[in-house]
Chains A and B, each alone.
Chain A
Amino acid sequence: MKKNKSLGSRLFDSINVIFLLFVSIVAVYPLYYMLITSVSHGMAVMQGLVTFFPVNPSLDTFKILLRNNDIFIAFKNSFVYTLLGTFINLLFSCLCAYPLSRRTFSGRGFLTGMIVVTMFFSGGMIPLYLVVQSLGMMDTVWAVVLPVAINTYNMIIIRTSFQAIPESLVESAQIDGANDFVILFRIIIPVSRAVLATMVLFYAVSHWNSYFKEMLYLNTKSKYPLQIILRNMLVSGLFSEEATMAGGASSFSVTDGTLRSAVIVFTTLPIIMVYPFVQKYFVKGVMIGSLKG
């Protein structure tokens, strides 16, 4: 009986490991496929010959991308929007979270209520669009970063972590004559580094990956981020005439398909590069979020 059970148990364990390994492969394979098709011969990809390894590997697609000025500008734009956007997110979120975390703050209950309401009811897409338009923000970086300056959910996570800081730390600073700005920037923020690091990552990824508001608010090509370039490729099916011409000299070595793969790799690369180092913070962020404050 006992032996029997352990056999079944071991069988289950083996099947489970195999199944979960399969799940992991399914999770990464699409990205891996993008990588190998981006460096494979266009014709081979079209014929379905590329499955696990690149065929006739070359860096032609990336050479074309690097020769293309739009991609560089878009990369720079994505970078700037992410950096500026994340900075504004962090500043606004902390300035919002700290007063709401102070138990003695007279406006705490009312203001928290007014903010939480916005999580469940909003004016929606069109009124926000009209507000941004009437503020004269169209086609500026502000339209992309200011309407999302605070993610209320993230802000509440920050507030909760601020609340967990011992009151005595704040009180002793107050006795020393420090005002709330000094307390926030010199004590609270340095103490909350771990949580804020998580928030930086959440915010930064959302800026890097965003395309919809950029599509709504930006209409000058030189202001497009990478996601818009990729989106336009998907919509039109083409990268750009000149680029294809430039690479098209050697018969179908570069196709729209391989170019698309290359742009996907290029767009995702920054996330993949930092991912191994930061993934434990992401997980921590979800944990904090699940403990309601």
Chain B
Amino acid sequence: MQRSNPSRLAKVLRRDKYLYLMFALPFLFYFIFHYIPIYWLLITFKDFSIRKGVLGSPWVGTKYIEQFLFDPYFWQVFKNTIVINLFNLLWSFPAPVILALLLNELRTGPLKRSIQTISYLPHFLSTVVVVGMLTSFLSSDGIVNQLLQQFGVGPFAFLTEAKYFRTVYIASGVWQAAGWGSIIYLSALSSVDAELYEAARIDGANRWDQMLHITLPGIAPTITILLILETGKIMDVSFQKILLLMNGSNRVVSDVIATYVYRIGITDANFSYATGVGLFQSIIALIFVTACNAISRRVSETSLW
């Protein structure tokens, strides 16, 4: 490598010329839509205006960074992001594991296959459709409130009151993702040695013992890795869903960094400030993913990179 002489390099390039040619379009894609935006992060430190461009806009140093770091509202949306994610992890993570364990106890056959197939279905519905359904079900004259009123309670303003926001967001997320998420656990379950169950049965272990001592240990590595990876995504939220669910009265809890960036940047055209907030989020996210990846490598010898 360190003493690659030019003629050898030329030879290698000639040999791989078609591969490089082929790579031209993907290269342009990654360059234009991934690397140029990274370069454009510079505008965080400039007073960016579209007219002057990235290079022409004057430097302002850390003016915008300081601006949002000293803005209490920024810390509010920062906190919202973390809180939504922590609660979400608490519910969304175990749901597919439990579903997979229960599905695994079913005898293989058409019933099991149908239940599985049906459970994946919500995964393929669009965010807009899911929020549309939530509106139909949970609005003040929706079916849920109609039913509750027959029992003499309600109506509840599920979609507008701030205290219901996280529940609605997380519950609809579990509804949409649990089935799809169970696939990976089911595939891990299918590789658990069947002879172990045989041996356990001979030793008189009941179903519960088998689940506790064979099935769970069998998928424990998968659970560990996925838990660590999910924790690494602490800054990720389904902000596209939040954007549709957000309104004036639930904003105190529903406004997250991504929706804030969208509002400041796109709606108010305050590009430099919004880019700074976005950059801050990316850096925190990167630190989290890297840390979780390092933990994963140590714990389970499996990692993303």
A residues near B (Cβ < 8 Å) are 5, 8-9, 12-13, 16-17, 19-21, 23-24, 26-28, 30-31, 33-34, 37, 46-48, 50-51, 91-92, 95-96, 98-99, 102, 104-107, 111, 114-116, 118, 120-131, 133-135, 146-147, 149-150, 179-181, 184, 205, 208-212, 216, 227, 230-231, 233-235, 257, 260-261, 263-264, 267-268, 271, 275-276, 279, 282-283, 286-287, 290
Stretch at the interface among B69-77, B80-88, B125-133: B125-133
**Can you sample 23 A-B contacts with CB below 8 Å?**
A13-B105, A21-B115, A24-B119, A31-B125, A48-B147, A111-B27, A123-B37, A124-B37, A124-B41, A124-B261, A124-B278, A131-B33, A134-B53, A135-B32, A205-B124, A211-B126, A230-B132, A267-B126, A275-B121, A275-B124, A276-B117, A279-B120, A283-B120
Considering only CB atoms, which chain A residue lies closest to B48 in the complex? A130
**With A131-B40, A264-B132 in contact, do A27 and B179 touch (Cβ < 8 Å)?**
yes
A24/B118 in contact, CB under 8 A:
yes
B34 within 8 A of partner (CB): yes
Chain B 219-257 per-residue mask, 1 if CB under 8 angstroms from chain A, else 0: 000000000000000000000100110000000000000
Find the A residue at minimum CB distance from B13: A106
User: For residue B279, which residues in chain A have a CB less than 8 angstroms away from its CB?
Assistant: 124
Question: By the criterion of a CB under 8 Å from any partner CB, how many residues of chain B are at the interface?
Answer: 84
Residue from A150, A211, A283 within 8 A of B240 (CB atoms): A211
* CB proximity of A43 to chain B, nearest CB, Å: 11
Residue of B nearest to A286 (CB): B183
Question: Which B residues lie within 8 Å of A209 (CB)?
Answer: 124-129
CA distance A45 to B138 in the complex (A): 13
Residues of A with C-beta under 8 A to B274: 125-126
Ranked nearest first, the 6 interchain pairs of A and B with the lowest CB-CB distance are A123-B37, A48-B146, A209-B126, A96-B26, A124-B278, A127-B40
Q: A96-B26, A209-B126 are in contact. Are A127 and B102 (CB under 8 A)?
A: no
Contact B33 A149 (CB under 8 A): yes
User: What CA separation (Å) do A146 and B26 show in the bound complex?
Assistant: 11
> Which of A12, A120, A227 makes the CB contact (< 8 A) with B128?
A227
Q: Which of B8-47 contact A (CB under 8 A)?
A: 12-13, 15-16, 18-23, 25-27, 29-30, 32-41, 43
- Closest chain B residue, CB of each to CB of A9: B207
Given contacts A23-B119, A33-B133, A122-B37, 6 further A-B pairs with CB under 8 A are A34-B136, A124-B37, A211-B127, A235-B244, A271-B125, A286-B183
If over half of A's interface residues share one DSSP class (helix, strand or loop), that class is named, otherwise mixed; here it is: helix
The one of A23, A123, A180, A181 in contact with B99, judged by C-beta atoms closer than 8 angstroms, is A23
The answer to whether B32 touches A131, judged by C-beta atoms less than 8 angstroms apart, is: yes
Query: In the complex, A31→B118 CA distance in Å?
Result: 12
Residues in chain A near residue B40, CB distance under 8 A = 123, 127, 130-131
Contact B38 A123 (CB under 8 A): yes
Q: Is B262 part of the binding interface, using a Cβ–Cβ cutoff of 8 Å? A: yes
CB distance from A185 to the nearest CB of B (A): 10
- Of B13, B34, B39, the most chain A CB neighbours within 10 A belong to B34
CB-defined contacts of A24 to chain B, threshold 8 Å: 114-115, 118-119
Q: Are B133 and A20 in contact (CB under 8 A)?
A: no
Q: Is the CB of A234 within 8 A of B34?
A: no
What is the chain A residue whose CB lies nearest that of B125? A268
- List residues of chain B with CB within 8 A of the CB of A91: 25
Do the beta carbons of B34 and A123 come within 8 Å of each other? yes
B129 A9 Cβ-Cβ under 8 A: no
Residue of A99, A116, A122 touching B38 (CB-CB under 8 A): A122
Which residues of A are found within 8 Å of B16, using beta-carbon distances? 99, 104-107
Partner of B124, one of A8, A37, A150, A271: A271
Q: Is B161 on the interface with A (CB-CB < 8 A)?
A: no
**Closest residue of chain B to A283, judged by CB?**
B183
Q: Knowing A27-B121, A275-B121 touch, does A12 contact B136 (C-beta < 8 A)?
A: no
Residues of A within 8 A of B32 (CB): 131, 135
Cross-chain contact A120 with B30 (CB below 8 angstroms)? no
Q: What CA separation (Å) do A21 and B141 show in the bound complex? A: 28
Query: Which listed residue, B115, B175, B180, touches A20 by the CB 8 Å rule?
Result: B115
Q: How far is the CA of A96 from the CA of B25 in the complex (A)?
A: 8
Contact: A92 with B115, CB < 8 Å?
no
Within 8 Å by CB of B118, from A27, A120, A147, A287, lies A27
Enumerate chain B residues within 8 angstroms of A107, measured Cβ to Cβ.
16, 19-20, 23
Quick check: B22 and A184 within 8 Å, CB to CB? yes
* B122 CB within 8 Å of chain A: yes
Query: Which has the most chain B C-beta neighbours within 10 Å: A12, A147, A231, A261?
Result: A231
